[in-house]
Amino acid sequence: MNPSRRPLIAGNWKMFNGGRAGVELAEACVAFARDLPGVDVVIAPPYTALAAVADTIDGSPVALAAQNLYPKDQGPFTGEISGPMLEECGCTWVIVGHSERRQIFGETDAFVAEKTSAALAHDLLPIVCVGETLQQREAGETLRVVKQQIDAFLDVIARTPKAVAIAYEPVWAIGTGKTAGPTEAEEVHAAIRSWLEKKDADLAKRTRILYGGSVKADNAAALLACPNVDGALVGGASLDAGSFGAIARAARRPS
């Protein structure tokens, strides 16, 4: 982890804890985050829990993210939620282009770029997700695939001085218990950093590159020790405040 970037640990609750349970989990996250002043803790509940969780974390160090947004401000888009709505709910972050959105809902690179742009237009910092499938990794296409995904939104994030986050999440590691080892993760993170650097040196310095895919309390420290891993996007383990807190503690830097 590079000392110029504060570690960021984000919990993606996916389609879990959309009601009362979400408020309880958020309370528990506030409790551990108060003891971690050097770590940015972000939680991404389902839409139905956003307003209640926003109340719970108000005045605490925990920040609120949505898991998705629609790139238009308002209009006849049944079932969709816009950037201004998320902002009004208290979100300061939004996850964009998660592999489940790309794979299950057919989101393209161009649509992910459009969403990234809409997020930035509304004071929502995007956590833009990229990552290869198992088939692509086995075919030796990991870096080509990830570069193509990043190229689609590179201009968008280079146009703003805001510090966005990119999450490298190998699809084969999400929810499977398989993690990229620190060496595999660092190889891709370093490549991403070099592409950002080529575009703009300051962009490479300010962008936090998170690792995601079966991050747990027992593998977090090794991943977070990699020089280009600036944090983690955590799914399953973020549903338990004990393990999410342990991951966040693993991100602390020696003072």
Interface residues with ligand PGA (CB under 6 A) are 12, 169, 174-175, 212-215, 233-237
* Residue 149 CB, nearest approach to ligand PGA (Å): 15
Looking at the Cβ atoms of 82 and 179, the one nearer to ligand PGA is 179
* Catalytic-labelled residue, pool 100, 114, 169, 186: 169
Distances (CA, A) of 36 to 13, 49, 50, 174, 251: 21, 24, 23, 26, 9
DSSP 221-253: HHHHTSTT--EEEESGGGGSHHHHHHHHHHTPP
Report the alpha-carbon distance of residue 92 to residue 22 in Å, rounded: 18
> Closest CB to ligand PGA belongs to which residue?
235
Nearest residue (CB) to ligand PGA, 22 versus 213? 213
Q: Give whichever of 150 and 203 is closer to ligand PGA, judged by the CB atom.
A: 150
Active site residue 98: yes
Query: To the nearest whole angstrom, how small is the minimum distance from the Cβ of residue 88 to ligand PGA?
Result: 25
Active-site residue 169, yes or no?
yes
Orientation of helix 20-33 relative to helix 47-57, angle to 10°: 40
Query: What is the nearest approach in angstroms of ligand PGA to the Cβ of residue 248?
Result: 14
Residues in the chain: 255
Q: Name the catalytic one among 98, 107, 132, 186.
A: 98
For the CB of residue 29, give the shortest distance to ligand PGA in the complex, in Å: 16
Q: Which is nearer to ligand PGA, 130 or 203 (CB)?
A: 130
Is 205 within 8 Å of 234 (Cβ atoms)?
no
Query: What does the alpha-carbon distance between residue 147 and residue 161 come to, in Å, rounded to a whole number?
Result: 21
Integer CA distances (angstroms), 191 to 147, 175, 219, in order: 9, 24, 22
Kindly list the catalytic residues: 98, 169
